[in-house]
Amino acid sequence: MIVLVINCGSSSIKYQLFDMRNEAVLAKGLMERIGMDKASFIHQPAHKDRVTLSRPINDHGVGIRMVLDSLVDPTIGVIESLNEIAAVGHRVLHGGMKFSDSVLITPDVIEAIEECVELGPLHNPANILGIKACEKLMPDVPQIAVFDTGFHQTMPPHAYLYGLPYEAFEKYGVRRYGFHGTSHRYVSQRALALMGGVEKARRIITCHLGNGASVAAILNGCCVDTSMGLTPLEGLVMGTRCGDIDPAIIPFLMKKTGMSPEEIDAYMNKKSGLLGLSGISNDVRDIEEAALQGHNRANIALEVYVHSIRKYIGSYAATMGGVDAIVFTAGLGENSISMRSRICHGLEFLGAYIDTNKNSVYGKETEISTDSSPVKIFVIPTNEELVIARDSVGICAKLQNADQSQNAALGAPRRAHSSL
């Protein structure tokens, strides 16, 4: 079964085509700056040379068409016909309180995703554009939505409610939703598998540390708390996001500077975090280099960053009554030996002992705690696309079963889905 995974951002499309018989990636690519003067398109077929293009791409519809054309192109393609694609899985940012699981996309589901646009104003409209473009170009192929918020829907009210008047939640849906759910789900399930099941790893803390970053507390395989909130702005100090701040800072700064709501939103989302603190970059590699050369603000930025992560690890250990495993994933979590070491240093009181030699690893699934460490520490590369593809396969199998039961009940001959 061949599954196309699509992840549309406001001006970008990321994709991966999987052969789910062996979960092999047949092709992947990235299109950026859609709707701008010159868009860039990188298409990487497996076992063939990478193709790069630079030309205007007006909208997501045109972009998706180009992606599909590349997949079936006689030279750079990897399949003969679009009929080989059995399902398209879409990453959707915000499912609000409506979606805890991945779903087959129907007109009602699109309407529900549209209702969540207020909560995910940058991403949900782009996700809908991608879904509609795929529906138009592949009308008979099941489209599946996999929500970034879905995995966190198991949080109990005491973790997802803010200390605001209850009407803010009831009337406006103001609560913690959490993001990076597909990643937290994937790496926590891998950690469970590596540790031999939920009896051995009841309490897991997953740290998704990329340019955007979040931590999640996973109890008995279910998310019970996470650091991002109504939007991805809350929680850790990130590449360009401020993370947790005193909410009174917002009106204070607006009065002092005359910033509008949109301007203060951009200030906190795009100009803050590691970039704002260091004044150098949002990338830890640049900041570490500057810190080594004695740049004071670079050093402070790294200290604030590490402090915010350790604070979340400690508080989740407290709320879960301890921790059995800590997992690092995403760009920094998978690749930064120095930051993993700094984050774990001082967590020995929890029973988490990092092994310096084992920690010398980049982007590879590895246990990095000492052999005697009561708390296991892992590096687990995330694979959100694979989760989306697997969910798509699961939903298609359910559809096929439902179809077969219905046909059997009607006494009709079974209709085979040739592509499944």
Does residue 35 touch ligand AMP according to CB under 6 A? no
- Take residue 146 and report the two structure tokens written for it: 């996999």
**Given candidates 335, 359, 366, 369, which one binds ligand AMP under the rule CB under 6 A?**
335
Does residue 228 touch ligand AMP according to CB under 6 A? no
> Which residue's beta carbon is nearest to the bound ligand AMP?
331
The stretch near ligand AMP (CB under 6 A) out of 69-77, 255-263, 332-340, 387-395 is: 332-340
Between CA 154 and CA 176 the distance in angstroms is: 11
Instruction: For ligand AMP, give the closer residue by CB, 211 or 220.
Output: 211
Q: How far is the CB of 350 from ligand AMP (least distance, A)?
A: 24
The stretch near ligand AMP (CB under 6 A) out of 66-74, 106-114, 276-284, 302-310 is: 276-284
- Among residues 138, 54, 55, 153, the alpha carbon closest in space to that of 102 is found at 153
Looking at residues 181 to 210 of the shown chain, list those that interact with ligand AMP (rule: CB under 6 A). Answer: 210
Does residue 275 touch ligand AMP according to CB under 6 A? no
**Identified catalytic residue from 19, 148, 244, 324:** 148
- CA distances 8 to 100, 161, 308, 356, 389, Å, are 20, 29, 30, 39, 15
Instruction: For ligand AMP, give the closer residue by CB, 77 or 243.
Output: 243
Site string for ligand AMP, 278-307 (x = CB under 6 A): ----xxxx----------------------
Q: How far is the CB of 100 from ligand AMP (least distance, A)?
A: 25
Does residue 270 touch ligand AMP according to CB under 6 A? no
CA-CA-CA-CA dihedral for 386, 387, 392, 398, to nearest 10: 130
Instruction: For ligand AMP, give the closer residue by CB, 18 or 305.
Output: 305
Instruction: For ligand AMP, give the closer residue by CB, 178 or 331.
Output: 331
Does residue 336 touch ligand AMP according to CB under 6 A? yes
**Given candidates 26, 66, 105, 330, which one binds ligand AMP under the rule CB under 6 A?**
330
Instruction: Please give the single-letter amino acid code of residue 76.
Output: I
Does residue 383 touch ligand AMP according to CB under 6 A? no
Element (H, E) at 92: strand 85-92
Say if residues 377 and 368 touch (Cβ distance below 8 Å).
Answer: yes
Radius of gyration of the chain (CA): 22
- Take residue 250 and report the two structure tokens written for it: 């917002």
Across the beta sheet with 376-379, what order do the strands follow? Answer: 222-226, 213-219, 203-209, 325-329, 376-379, 366-367
Active site residue 148: yes
Does residue 332 touch ligand AMP according to CB under 6 A? yes
**Given candidates 89, 120, 331, 381, which one binds ligand AMP under the rule CB under 6 A?**
331
- Take residue 291 and report the two structure tokens written for it: 């810190």
Does residue 359 touch ligand AMP according to CB under 6 A? no
Between CA 166 and CA 367 the distance in angstroms is: 43
Rounded to the nearest 10 degrees, what angle do helices 60-72 and 124-137 cross at? 50
Strand segments (E) across 227-354: 325-329
Catalytic residues: 148
Binding site for ligand AMP (CB under 6 A): 210-211, 239, 282-285, 330-332, 335-336
